[in-house]
Structure 1
């Protein structure tokens, strides 16, 4: 008898079949027409986008769009090759130069996605004889990079330098000469909390370990010129590798790693996710280059964080159990039950607000989350409309108690 290779997915399939059909299913939603960084037509109605990670609103930036259009007309739709073959154009090198200028580093390496950047750098740096210590709440791309490299993986408690110190102390007693890489994120995507990079970097250096920071959700958002949490906390000189993505604040797709390590360039010859995938299309490269230049010289960060505080404080005042504080562009409501969370998402989309539904095991502490990610392009009126609909749906589903509402 042939074993069904899909049998291991039966539980997931059964859960999917229990979801509501039609427009209330969060996993089949489609953007029919994008109107702006903050609005789209979904299910035939105008909908506010409150879950796109378009932090700087760069997807419709006129200069970035014009740069992409020009590259499309002059260089074509794609490279049809990897960076180590025919897929390196002058524009790819120019983008890497822009990254080096943006971060003030000696080296920069561009990947076709942010996922591949983590996958490639982590798997290549730490092999079977090495150790990786990762924050327990790390992104899937970090876990997959660890698995691909076959290093020994040790998890430490989320945002806990003391716990990291204990684990590194134990490791160094058993294997004092081992190669060690500590991997953390600047901002964690589900709840938007920042890493205490100053303390984590100090612990890493104390134990002679390299440290890599994934700034995917913090580039453009934090720091004097938008370089992320490491810049904001004044510890860039203590960080060995910074990984990031173009798919959030930069408004397109792609990933990168920057570093000052003198041997960094050898990674181009040994990093499989870099070597064996097609390079980014010229239009994407051009828009990313232009967006980085804009982000470095913009004051949109203040508007973005003001928007986030408005939404976070508003939701907390209404009476929701918040998983976020407003110190990042993310606002997340903790919903007690998975079925309530799914129903919540469905009611919000009917009310013209698109948010992210985040469920275990992809969430910290197995939370069921209604997760918003705001943009500097959102208006106060749009945020107030979101708050109105969140309260309406929260009351309808019985998530907000009458007592909580009376205190608003």
Structure 2
């Protein structure tokens, strides 16, 4: 048997998508023009699917910091921090992210994916139990597998179900034989729904568990200061560990973990993704530090992002589209089936709008979605144009559909 034959079904499904038009999972941008526009197939295209929440990818301050670090410290570190040592910039970023999130300690990883692998597999191990929101990101699931801990899933955003499962584990003696770690996300990346952290904190405290919150899509996005859902919901002191990425609102690449736990630094010697991965490049680290400074100095970016999110959400809802969750910078429009979703995505792209096509098995409840991510850099006119184009595409597809 051919070693890649197991993917025949997926390949056939991909071929069907390609027959309908462009490749939704291999789109080529010939040139990125700004935080909100790129040339795609030679056409100026509005970007509404890049997670560039604050529009900082072209920020002059961030670019200047990256260029300076590149010129002064070279292109890369060529090894892990355990093997090759830390650059002063690595430590400066850890100090900056810890200060920004008001935590005692921070550790950075080269990617957000590795931050989840490193945090989870460093915190939990064989003998421990992880209780995981069922809709969690793939990196979280992979971190759980790497840890060797027992994995128990609970229903999405359901503190009562978590409570029931923790109570059962305690009756079985799990808390006596190992630690209990609860993992949720702040904003969930597919639907844009938000975790009820106060309720989760109350449940985990009652059962003696620890709580890790992945703020990947909420860092720089929620809370007056941009510290995430924990800040926005007034529950920061109840969250034991935070993880996240620099690749969304901060416009760079990398990941982090922070905590007030007195032994958090032990993860540097117990986290394989930290120990055996080359550390982030000086230019990347420098741009992240500059991006944090921009958020601290200009809180208006967050306010503009939410004005745009509310405008897109309300505009699409007013036109009769089904939105998957209440207002957040992720606005996911539900469509009835994959065939229509693929056609809708292609029609949007041909009209100069790029969003994310999200289909099973990568979506909750097998949903088919046009996933939009809003940016503070979008203008009101661009937001209005997105709503107008959604309506035009729906009308065109309805007109071309065969009569039943």
TM-score bucket (shorter structure):
over 0.9
Partner SS state of residue 84, structure 1: helix
CA distance in 1, matches of 2:286, 2:93: 8
- Unpaired stretches in structure 1, ≥5 consecutive residues: 402-408
Asked whether 1:371 is paired with 2:358, we answer no
Are the structure 2 counterparts of residues 96 and 346 from structure 1 closer, same or farther at C-alpha, using a change threshold of 3 Å? same
In structure 1, the partner of 2:77 is 79
Give deviations 1:155-194, integer Å, cap 9, x for gaps.
1111111111000000000014131100000110111111
In structure 2, the partner of 1:162 is 160
Give deviations 1:62-118, integer Å, cap 9, x for gaps.
100000000000000101010112151000000000011101111000001000000
CA distance in 2, matches of 1:68, 1:365: 41
In structure 2, the partner of 1:307 is 308
In structure 1, the partner of 2:204 is 204
In structure 2, the partner of 1:33 is 31
Q: Confirm or deny: 8 A CA contact 1:335 1:399 kept in the other structure.
A: no
CA distance in 2, matches of 1:15, 1:52: 24
Are the structure 2 counterparts of residues 109 and 316 from structure 1 closer, same or farther at C-alpha, using a change threshold of 3 Å? same
Cα distance, 1:297 vs structure 2: 2.8
Give deviations 1:350-387, integer Å, cap 9, x for gaps.
00000000011111111000000010000011111111
Structure 1 range deviating more: 210-219 or 17-26: 17-26
Structure 1 range deviating more: 289-298 or 276-285: 289-298
CA distance in 2, matches of 1:185, 1:227: 14
In structure 1, the partner of 2:258 is 258
Asked whether 1:276 is paired with 2:276, we answer yes
In structure 2, the partner of 1:7 is 5
Structure 1 range deviating more: 24-33 or 73-82: 24-33
Cα distance, 1:17 vs structure 2: 1.4
CA distance in 2, matches of 1:146, 1:307: 35
* Counterparts of residues 159-308 of structure 1 (less than 5 Å): 159-175=157-173, 176-177=175-176, 178-298=178-298, 299-308=300-309
Give deviations 1:260-318, integer Å, cap 9, x for gaps.
11111111011000111111100000000010111123221111011011111111111
TM-score (norm 1): 0.95
Partner SS state of residue 83, structure 2: coil
CA distance in 2, matches of 1:172, 1:364: 29
* Counterparts of residues 35-50 of structure 1 (less than 5 Å): 35-50=33-48
In structure 1, the partner of 2:56 is 58
Please identify runs of 4+ aligned residues in structure 1 that moved more than 3 A.
Answer: none
Partner SS state of residue 20, structure 1: helix
Q: Confirm or deny: 8 A CA contact 2:20 2:342 kept in the other structure.
A: no
CA distance in 1, matches of 2:193, 2:297: 25
Cα distance, 1:399 vs structure 2: 9.7
Cα distance, 1:21 vs structure 2: 4.8
Q: Confirm or deny: 8 A CA contact 1:23 1:29 kept in the other structure.
A: no
Q: Confirm or deny: 8 A CA contact 2:20 2:343 kept in the other structure.
A: no
TM-score (norm 2): 0.96
Are the structure 2 counterparts of residues 399 and 66 from structure 1 closer, same or farther at C-alpha, using a change threshold of 3 Å? farther
CA distance in 2, matches of 1:368, 1:389: 19
Q: What is the aligned residue count?
A: 398
In structure 1, the partner of 2:361 is 361
In structure 1, the partner of 2:105 is 107
- Unpaired stretches in structure 2, ≥5 consecutive residues: none
* Counterparts of residues 84-99 of structure 1 (less than 5 Å): 84-99=82-97
Are the structure 2 counterparts of residues 247 and 45 from structure 1 closer, same or farther at C-alpha, using a change threshold of 3 Å? same
Q: Confirm or deny: 8 A CA contact 1:105 1:259 kept in the other structure.
A: yes
